[in-house]
Homo-oligomer: A and B are copies of this chain.
């Protein structure tokens, strides 16, 4: 059992949805790096709820209290601990779920695992609330990556049946990875996506989606074969974000229907410098690999997609079981929930990606 991750930089997450606070310890950050807390707060604000029609009305300030690890705003080599108070808690909403588990939530399964002792309030340690610590850690690590000329960003590629266009797989510059407001590439899909969310919400229902993430500036050969490659580490960490159901790199599942001659990424000599940072004397003629082969970065943009399920907490009636009297019952989930978690999951996916890459790259930069 473990809420920790990482080899060179270690992440330890703690807290429950309704405990006094949630937080994170980041152990192994290199010393001497100034951290811009305003930019960290910007990431945290993108994850924060209570700001619009499609996110939970639970509004926390989400301002980190830095317990340790910084001296005058600069990493000092000691573990960085940040804590976020749980102020806006309404535990009474959750009285029922200690008895009637919510479908497709961890309620019942955690109850079995922890012999009935787990903190069922708000999903306990399984709550999306825990991702505030992940986003903090990722926002810090992204600042390290930038110092090493590595940049990343993610956008909503799909909500319900509405699709955004994908990233260009070969030509990406820093500006292509920065999004204002609703993070999409094609501005025309913003309203249809929001409509899909609001329609579901108005019916007491929810919708899922897909997030696409890209990283540029990675040198060739970061990662390892077998169990500790870029795909392995990212996949392990990305599934820590609640509601993730799948991950694919580059052409991903589409590769299954391709010929080798279609899928292979030919190699040529790199010409000129382009807008983005140069990382290799060779250039790829295509990027179906999504920038990673055999666990190693190729120098082309790292690109992967993540499937997010529809929020399981819905007002619509569902069938469950009352565990006290062992009777089947109808359940309508109360509490304050997002009808679509995808927009708030975008900074989570970015954060986990930043953390994983900083963990791999810190060895060369310490």
A→B interface (CB under 8 Å): 1-5, 7-8, 10-16, 19-23, 25, 27-28, 31-32, 65-69, 71, 74-81, 83, 101, 103-106, 108-110, 112-119, 124-126, 130, 158-161, 200, 205-210, 219-229, 231-233, 235-240, 242, 244-253, 255-269, 280-282, 285, 288-290, 293-299, 305, 307-314, 316, 318-321, 326-328, 363-364, 366
Contact = CB atoms under 8 A, between A and B. Distances in A.
A207 B103 contact: no
Residue from the set A258, A298, A310 with the largest chain B CB neighbour count within 10 Å: A310
Nearest to A21: B67
- A-B interface, 7 closest residue pairs, ranked by CB to CB distance from nearest: A246-B248, A113-B221, A106-B294, A78-B125, A206-B260, A31-B114, A235-B235
**Chain A interface, DSSP helix/strand/loop, else mixed:** mixed
A28 B246 CA distance: 27
Given A81-B23, A200-B259, A258-B208, A242 B321 contact: no
Copies in the complex: 4
A248 B159 CA distance: 18
Contacts of A257: 158, 160-161, 208
Residue from the set A12, A23, A222 with the largest chain B CB neighbour count within 10 Å: A12
A19 B208 contact: no
Contacts of A28: 1-2
A317 to B, nearest CB: 9
A121 to B, nearest CB: 8
Given A77-B117, A205-B261, A227-B237, A268 B310 contact: no
B67 A19 contact: yes
Contacts of A83: 67, 83
A307 B255 contact: yes
Nearest to A270: B321
Given A3-B228, A14-B80, 12 more contacts: A14-B79, A77-B125, A109-B293, A110-B294, A112-B220, A113-B296, A158-B256, A208-B256, A210-B256, A235-B235, A242-B294, A256-B308
